[in-house]
Structure formats: C-alpha cells, structure tokens
Structure 1
Amino acid sequence: MANIPEDDRGDLLLSCRYGDLEDIQAFLDRHGACSLAEIRDHNQNTILHMVSANGHLDALQYILPLVPTSLLSAQNNAGSTALHWAAVNAHLEITKALIEFPNGPGVNLIDIKNEAGHSPLAEAEYAGWDEGAQYLVGVMNLEAENADKEDGDGVLADEQEIEVQIEDAEGQIAKMKIGGSVSAPKPQSSPPSA
C-alpha cells in the first residue's frame, strides 16, 4: 500500500462515503483491488464503514466481492464494525447485505460489541430503529438455555419448548419462549352459588 499516494487513499474513502461508484472504479483501475482492505481513515474506518454508514448499496455490492470477508468484521477505533454503522443509520438493505454476504461472518457480526459494549442490535435499539432490530433478532443465533431438550439430531421436536434471553440496549434481559405445543385454556369453574 506504500505506493498508493495518501491523497488517492483519502479520495477513495470519500468516494465510498458519498457512494461515487465511478470514482471507486477509477481507483481500482489505477491501483487494483488488493489494497482495498488496507485503506483506513485516521479513526481506522474502512471503505465498508463508509459505504455502510451512508447507505450506498450499489457501492457496497460492488466492493464486497473484491475485499477479504474478514473486512466485514473489521473494527474502527471505537470498536464499531460496518454493521454497527448501518444499524446506527437505519440502513436495512445494507444490514442485510453485510450479514447475508456468502462466506462472510454472517450472523456472527451481530455479536461483535464496540468499545461502549454495544452490539449492532443494541445500536439499532438506541437509534429507535425497530425494523432493523426485528430483522437482527430474526436472524441472530439464539442459544437455548436448555440444550438437553434437543432430540438426538439437534432439532427440537414440535412439542419441545426452549427459552431464550436477549439483552436489550439498556442491558435489560428479555426472555422469550420458542416452540412447544399450544394447549387449550382450561375452562374456568363457575363461582359457587350463594
């Protein structure tokens, strides 16, 4: 990366920030893709941070196949990943693209906490971005408290129920039960007559 002028690196970061796909392509024509993963600003933000924070899906889709998948989990000086920034700024399509990128870290990105101790899910909740928080909860790895309830093939039977815990942005624990058979409510007995 030493042979790439500082101005060109800065221009690439700005092009990613503003979603200027033509300038990103021009950088690649001049310098190739091998340097993309190394380029950072003074806060250690990558090109993925820039396109993700600003919602530039076309630029993200162009860049993702050109960088190592490890760049998806790269953290800046504050410990935030590109997914944290997508969550803070409520960019659902960016969030999906980062998590669903083939051979990438996938849903494990949701577990990365920044220096403030916030996961991307917590950032979505702090931002009041319900749609994103719901998406993240829907795809995240939920560990069952009672793993012994699994049958032999690792799949829960229809009548089995597990309880999961999810920590919200304020550190509160929410418990939720998944599965189990639904039983009809028991009829109430009528009060004794006087």
Structure 2
Amino acid sequence: MAPSTDEQEEFLLSCRYGDLDDVKQFVDQFGVAAAGAVHDDNGNTALHMLCGNGHADILDYLLPILPPALLSAKNSAESTPLHWAALNSHMDVVKRLVEFPGGPGIDLIDIKNAAGRSPLAEAELAGWDEGAQWLVQMMKLDVEGGVKEGEADEPTDAEDADASQLAAEGIEIEIEDADGQMAKMRIGGQQP
C-alpha cells in the first residue's frame, strides 16, 4: 500500500520537526523505498528536511537504510541536504553526510546549486567559520611541497622539520568565497 499525499506530507514534517517515532512508524508502515521517494513540491526529500534542521538522530536512523544517492539529491534550487546543513550551521549533520561510508563523501562539498554555490560557499555566506574550515580541511587540497599519495615512504629530517613548522604555523590557502571573490583561510596553527 502506497502512502497518501497527506501521509507523505506528514512524513516530511516529522523529518523537519525531529519526530523520530513518527519517521520510524512511516518506514515500518510503508517501507524504505517509500521513505526514499517522498519529496515536496520543491523537490525537498526527507534528508533535506532533517539536515536543514539539524536532526542528527533521524539522520542516524535513515542514512543506513536510504539509498546513498539521496545524499546528493537536489531540490528545485539544486541544493543538496549538505547545502541545507551548511547554511544552517549543523556541524554534526555536515560531518555525518560527508563521512558516511558508501556515500559520495567529499564529492558532496563540490556540488553547486542553482545560485552557483557549494555547501562550503553556503557556510561562508552564513558566516559559519567553523563549518567552512572543517569542509576545507576535508577537501583534497594539493599543498605546495606536500607529499602526494604514493610518494616518499619515510620522511627526511628536513621534511619532519617542515611538518613541525606547518603544524605550528598552519597553512594559508585561498578559496573562492560565495561572492566569487578570493578569500584567505588558515588551516591549523595559530590564527592571526
């Protein structure tokens, strides 16, 4: 039996407002496939709703049972659940989405919405420095002079000294901000 329109709307509201018992009841009654297929008129899925509102407990319940493709599902504004979590400064949710085994992983950070903004840009636009810094740290950056995968088995004394200096001073990188301007960010070390 398929859920009615009203039952689907109630499921999305349960995700939005953090009612884990109602979410479980929907999944028990209609199945995982129905839960994964529900979306509103703007294309928002259950993950959009719960990620935008920071409901990590519901995310922990649904992530292992929903198709991993829902992690990168776009709504009508082409925003993913990670865009919503970053825009609303929900660190626990952001980490769970990016680090979920079997999901898209760090590739989620590069997805741009219709406004041309990535989840990182949404975090910056919201003024959420902690989240923006975490997302930058998760990205695969090629730091000049850094060791790439498959290079150098044992660090030399000079490399150890360089690593110690980097740990103390950090790395300053430039990234494109939400407005298309270049912004500087320091990873690690003492903040200026």
Q: Same fold (TM over 0.5)?
A: yes
Quickly say closer, same or farther: Cα 1:126–1:23, change in 2 above 3 A.
Answer: same
Give, as a single letter, the amino acid of the residue that structure 1 aligns with 2:68.
T
The one-letter amino acid of 2:57's match is D
Give 1:40 deviation, angstroms: 0.5
CA offsets 1:71-121 (integer angstroms, 9 cap, x no match): 100000001000000011000001001001111111110000000000000
Shift of residue 168 of structure 1? 1.5
Question: Cα RMSD between the aligned structures?
Answer: 2.7
Paired residue total = 175
Q: Secondary structure at the match of 2:141?
A: coil
Name 1:183's counterpart in structure 2.
none
CA contact (8 A) 2:27 2:34 kept: no
Correspondence for 1:166 among 167, 175, 183: 175
SS at match of 1:35: helix
Q: Which is worse superposed, 66-75 or 135-144?
A: 135-144
* TM-score between the two structures when normalised by the length of structure 2: 0.81
- Give aligned-pair identity as a percent: 53
Q: How big is each residue's C-alpha offset from its partner over 1:2-43, in whole Å with a ceiling of 9 and x where there is no partner?
A: 822111111100000001000001101111112222110000
Pick the structure with greater CA Rg: 1
Question: Structure 2, unaligned stretches of length 5 or more?
Answer: 188-192
Residue 76 of structure 1 pairs with residue 75 of structure 2: yes
| Aligned AA (1:112) | I
Tell me if the contact between 1:142 and 1:164 (Cα under 8 Å) persists in the aligned partners.
no
SS in 1 for 2:175: strand
Alpha-carbon distance change, 75 to 155 in structure 1, aligned in 2, over 3 angstroms: farther
**Counterpart check, 1:25 vs 2:13:** no
Distance 1:123 1:99 in 2: 15
What is the distance in 1 between the residues matched to 2:68 and 2:182? 32
Q: Is the 8 A contact 1:143 1:164 kept in 2?
A: no
> How does the TM-score come out when normalised to structure 1?
0.80
State which drifts further: 149-158 or 93-102. 149-158
Q: When you count helix as a share of all residues, which structure comes out higher?
A: 2
